[in-house]
Amino acid sequence: MTTTSLLSNVRIEKYLTRLQSSLRGVAEDDKQDILREIRAHIVDSAEHAPDPQSAIDRTLRLLGTPEELASRYSTECQLRRASSSFSPWLLFRTCWNWAQLGIKGTLAFFLALFGYGMALGCTVSVFIKPFVPKLGLWTGPEGFGIIIPDHADRMHELLGSYFIPVIAVIGFVFAIATTQILRWMMRQRTPRVASTAERSSQLAQVQN
Amino acid sequence: MMAIYIALQGIVPNNSNGDRGQHWEAQLRKGCLEMAILASLWQSRLYGLEILRALSEKSELDVAEGTLYPILSRLKGEGLLDSEWVEAEAGHPRKYYWLTAPGRRRAREMAGAWNEFADKLTSLVQPVVGGK
């Protein structure tokens, strides 16, 4: 198989087309650069192989599906931006993408969901309070939490007139703590190295 | 409210700037792939497949292709690597990577910390290896 025929190989083209459509959030110039590099890599891998077709199969397998590869590119790109960002929305979106790559990302996503959820809940409560005076931090038979009790006479409100400042501070603390922990987790991430056993298993699957 | 949020973020100790240079040291103990990639480019410019082969032949680090390229992209984004497309005799261009000045500095620091870490660990495991 010549270089020219490799360059127009249907399987490579299909792979690159899927990769292109999956590379969301990557600048167009970077996208074209990535596609060009992956194409060059596949062609290089197959060029001098005794059986180019199986070499292409093996390389495509080791690259992962186009969606997985695109996700790694997008996530690397997003993680780099997010790890130095204070935007909860960017951090949350990045965690969502990161969660699809492994356990650490999943943990980060649930942390983001909980932390920002609490912060949002506190913020909403602060804004609602002036219009719904019964909203408060209640404890009693109906439970404990920021609620509007059905039977206020049987419940005890803990914060009274301090509700707005205290809940606002708690909301800020949740937002800040979540942001800082997520940024720290993103900076601590480690790239994935395929174990020799894993790689051997991948190669065996291709050969079979 | 957003202004207060940003202001409060500013007063929380932030490792991403001041301690950014030390961050790799913690990473080093968890994964040496970044250091290995930088080290593979110490002596010459290489393209992706050559980096994979260098990692595999010199350090037995079998890195999946799908892992390497996004990392190269990140290292380039962080200014540790630079790249250039070169028309090859093979008939298609290849993207060659090389270390930038910050990349060389980072590679040297990582290698130094790695040696120090390895020396200490070696002395720790010596009795285990010697069966004493």
Counted residue by residue, chain A has a size of 208
Which residues have a Cβ under 8 Å from the Cβ of B45 and sit 6 or more positions away?
A: B96, B97, B98
Contact assessment for residue B75 and residue B51, using Cβ atoms and an 8 Å cutoff: no
Q: Of A65, A74, A80, nearest to A97 (Cα)?
A: A74
Residue A87 is encoded by which pair of tokens? 């935007």
Which residue did the predictor score with more confidence, A2 or A46?
A: A46
Same domain, A186 and A92: yes
Which of B11, B47, B69, B86 to mutate to probe the A interface, most A CBs <10 Å?
A: B69
Contact assessment for residue A138 and residue A147, using Cβ atoms and an 8 Å cutoff: yes
Same domain, A41 and A120: no
Same domain, A112 and A207: yes
Question: What is the span of the domain harbouring residue A12?
Answer: 1-82
- What ipTM, to 2 d.p.? 0.71
Same domain, A141 and A154: yes
pLDDT score recorded for residue A5 = 61
| Average pLDDT of chain A, as a whole number | 82
Chain-chain contact of B66 with A176 (C-beta, under 8 angstroms): no
The Cβ of residue A78 has, within 10 Å, a number of other Cβ atoms equal to 23
Which residue did the predictor score with more confidence, B110 or A82?
A: B110
B79: nearest CA in chain A?
Answer: A80
Facing residue for B73 by CB, picked from A39, A41, A76: A76
A200: nearest CA in chain B?
Answer: B62
10-residue mean pLDDT profile of chain B (132 residues): values are 47 45 51 86 94 86 84 87 86 91 93 87 84 68
Boundary of a domain, candidates A82, A101, A120: A82
pLDDT at A192 over 50: no
Helix (H) or strand (E) holding B81: strand B81-87
Task: Give the range among A40-54, A73-87, A122-136, A162-176 with minimum mean pLDDT.
Answer: A73-87
Contact assessment for residue A61 and residue A204, using Cβ atoms and an 8 Å cutoff: no
- Residue range A107-160, pLDDT digits in tens: 999 999 999 999 999 999 999 988 888 888 888 887 888 888 888 788 888 888
Same domain, A164 and A182: yes
A87: nearest CA in chain B?
Answer: B6
pLDDT score recorded for residue B18 = 44
Same domain, A118 and A161: yes
pLDDT at A198 over 70: no
pTM, two decimals, is 0.61
Q: Of B86, B84, B71, nearest to B38 (Cα)?
A: B71
Chain-chain contact of B66 with A69 (C-beta, under 8 angstroms): yes
Distance between A35 CA and the closest CA of chain B, angstroms: 11
Query: Which residues 91-110 of B have a C-beta within 8 angstroms of A?
Result: 91-95
Same domain, A57 and A101: no
Chain-chain contact of B73 with A38 (C-beta, under 8 angstroms): no
A30 pLDDT tier (thresholds 50, 70, 90): confident
Which of A90, A104, A190 to mutate to probe the B interface, most B CBs <10 Å?
A: A190
Contact assessment for residue A175 and residue A115, using Cβ atoms and an 8 Å cutoff: yes
Boundary of a domain, candidates A82, A113, A130: A82
pLDDT score recorded for residue A197 = 47
Mean pLDDT, to the nearest integer, of A43-60? 85
pLDDT at A207 over 70: no
Same domain, A7 and A59: yes
Q: Which one-letter DSSP state was computed for residue A81?
A: H
pLDDT at A195 over 50: no
Which residue did the predictor score with more confidence, A208 or A80?
A: A80
Same domain, A104 and A26: no
pLDDT score recorded for residue A115 = 95
Alpha-carbon distance A160 to A178, whole Å?
Answer: 27
Tally of domains in chain A: 2
Q: With an 8 Å Cβ cutoff, is B11 touching chain A?
A: no
Boundary of a domain, candidates A27, A61, A82: A82
Helix (H) or strand (E) holding A138: strand A136-140
Same domain, A110 and A196: yes
Same domain, A124 and A75: no
Which residue did the predictor score with more confidence, A75 or A107?
A: A107
pLDDT score recorded for residue A72 = 84
The Cβ of residue B61 has, within 10 Å, a number of other Cβ atoms equal to 18
Helix (H) or strand (E) holding A137: strand A136-140
Facing residue for B26 by CB, picked from A62, A83, A188: A188
Distance between A3 CA and the closest CA of chain B, angstroms: 7
The dihedral built from the CA positions of residue A196, A107, A99 and A112, taken in this order, carries a sign that is negative
Alpha-carbon distance A38 to A44, whole Å?
Answer: 10
- Residue range A6-25, pLDDT digits in tens: 555 788 899 999 999 998 77
Facing residue for B16 by CB, picked from A62, A83, A192: A83
β-sheet bridge partners, residue B86: B94
Domains and CATH numbers, chain B: 29-127 (1.10.10.10)
pLDDT score recorded for residue B30 = 46
Q: B100-107: list long-range contacts, CB under 8 Å, 24+ apart.
A: B103/B38, B103/B41, B103/B75, B103/B79, B104/B42, B106/B24, B106/B38, B106/B80, B107/B35, B107/B38, B107/B39, B107/B41, B107/B42
Same domain, A41 and A126: no
Q: Of A171, A169, A147, A174, nearest to A158 (Cα)?
A: A147
